[in-house]
Amino acid sequence: MARALRLAENGRYSAHPNPCVGCVLVRQGNVVGEGFHLLAGQGHAEANALADAGTDARESVAYVTLEPCSFHGRTPSCARALIDAGVSKVVVAMLDPDVRNAGKGVLILREAGIEVVTPFMQEAAQGLVRGHVSRHTKQRPLVRLKLAMTLDGKTALSNGESRWITSVEARADVQKLRARSAAIVTGVQTVIDDDPRLSVRGEELKVEYAQLCADVGRPVYILDSGLRVPETVQLMSVPSTVVVTTSDTEARLPIEVLRMPALENRVDIKALLEELAAREHSEVLFECGPTLAGSLINQRLADEVVIYVAPRLIGNSGRSLLNLAEVGRMSDLAELSIEDIRMIGPDIKVTATVN
């Protein structure tokens, strides 16, 4: 199963909207086939492992990181494929939270006389598909907030200049955060100030299948309650860009305009997250300014925060990291659990989950 989990990681940057899955087939103590799911619409992990094993799949034991699918979606049922291949036993790391499957794959296998063991190494498997679990149990994607600051907590000079606070290495590392996300969300002020593309660049994404991962479409959602976004910014030339607004004003933009409910005169982020889940986005990356980032924290909508800290100082005149609501009691502070700290070039990368 440990090998299957490592195989599953190959699809982390490209499989969405599907979860990344790995499968290993073992017969008489020898690995006879293995596979993983790389792209939606292409072979699932089980199908690829069966193809790798050929006739050696008969009487083998299948180790799968997620319950085999019971239904025919973009590809045929993997549970049926395992039955047809004649496997004798299936070890499943975790059940699928997708209600279309949720236990049905295991039931089909057992009804066919195949022994099924589950759960097995469930915690590790869940860690690979946190967004998939969130989308199907909470009806919202996993929300990851990316921030960058100096040692004194500043994100830009007083005039708004912020290129570049962090190093080339840190900016390259951000490519992995973007690549593992099904969508990217930013605010209109960030678009006006920085004119970013927020794209995944294959040449900077130092992972296997880098260019393929970069080519997977990731829409960028611009939160713009007042329809202030200029038509001249780079994102207006990207067809997958979506402007999210609360305004009823007719928008003559060359891209999709999504109207959402308002909360305190801004886009209701919770409602937006529900819409993103409905659009099959399992993991979403927020790259935004202090106001939108602060709203995520204030409303407890961020699941994970990734902060790149540069060994530089700006001083009191610099712009702050977050615009947070005033707190009157220490017990009301937003609390995070630090999961990882590492050096990325000269910068520090801190990954924390929001309690």
Rounded Cα–Cα distance for residues 65 and 282 (Å):
18
Q: What pLDDT was estimated at residue 334? A: 87
Q: Which residue has the higher pLDDT, 355 or 87?
A: 87
Of the pLDDT bands very low, low, confident and very high (cuts 50, 70, 90), residue 260 is: very high
43 in Cβ contact with 21 (< 8 Å): no
Name the band, by pLDDT with cuts 50, 70 and 90, for residue 71: confident
Question: SS3 for 226?
Answer: coil
| Distances, alpha carbon 264 to alpha carbons 185, 257, 261, 273, in Å | 19, 20, 10, 17
Confidence class for position 258, pLDDT limits 50, 70, 90: very high
Among 56, 54, 57, 14, residue whose Cα is nearest residue 37: 14
Tens digit of each residue's pLDDT (9 = 90 or more) over 206-253: 777 777 777 778 999 999 999 999 999 999 999 899 999 998 888 788
φ/ψ of 331, rounded to 5, equals: -70, -15
Q: How many other CB atoms are there within 10 angstroms of residue 1's CB atom?
A: 17
Q: How confident is the model at residue 302 (pLDDT cuts 50, 70, 90)?
A: very high
pLDDT of residue 67: 97
CB 143 within 8 A of CB 301: yes
pLDDT at residue 204 tops 80: no
Average pLDDT across the chain, whole number = 93
* pLDDT tens string 103-137: 999 999 999 999 999 999 999 999 999 999 999 99
Tell the CATH topology of 2-129: Cytidine Deaminase; domain 2 (3.40.140)
DSSP state of 34: E
* Beta carbons of 282 and 132 less than 8 angstroms apart: yes
Judge whether residue 74 has pLDDT over 80: no
Residue 343 has pLDDT above 90, yes or no: yes
Residue span(s) of the chain under CATH 3.40.140.10 come to 2-129
Topology given in CATH for the domain delimited by 138-354:
Dihydrofolate Reductase, subunit A (3.40.430)
Cα–Cα distance, 44 to 279 (Å, whole number): 21
Residues serving a catalytic function are: 46
Tokens of 8: 């599953």
Which helix (H) or strand (E) covers residue 320, if one does? strand 319-320
Between 169 and 317, where is the model more confident?
169
Domain with CATH 3.40.430.10 in the chain: 138-354
pLDDT of residue 332: 84
Rounded distance between C-alpha atoms, residue 308 and residue 297, angstroms = 17
Structure tokens at 159: 């005039």
Contact 131, 182 (CB under 8 A): yes
- Rounded CA-CA distance 115/91 in Å is 8
User: Quick count: other Cβ atoms within 10 Å of Cβ 91?
Assistant: 20
| Predicted pLDDT of residue 110 | 97
Q: Is 71 exposed, middle or buried (0-12, 13-18, 19+ CB in 10 A)?
A: middle
Tell me the pLDDT tens digit for each residue of 77-102. 999 999 999 999 999 999 999 999 99
Q: How far apart are CA 82 and CA 46, in angstroms?
A: 7
Residue 159, pLDDT > 90, answer no
pLDDT band with cut points at 50, 70 and 90 for residue 156: confident
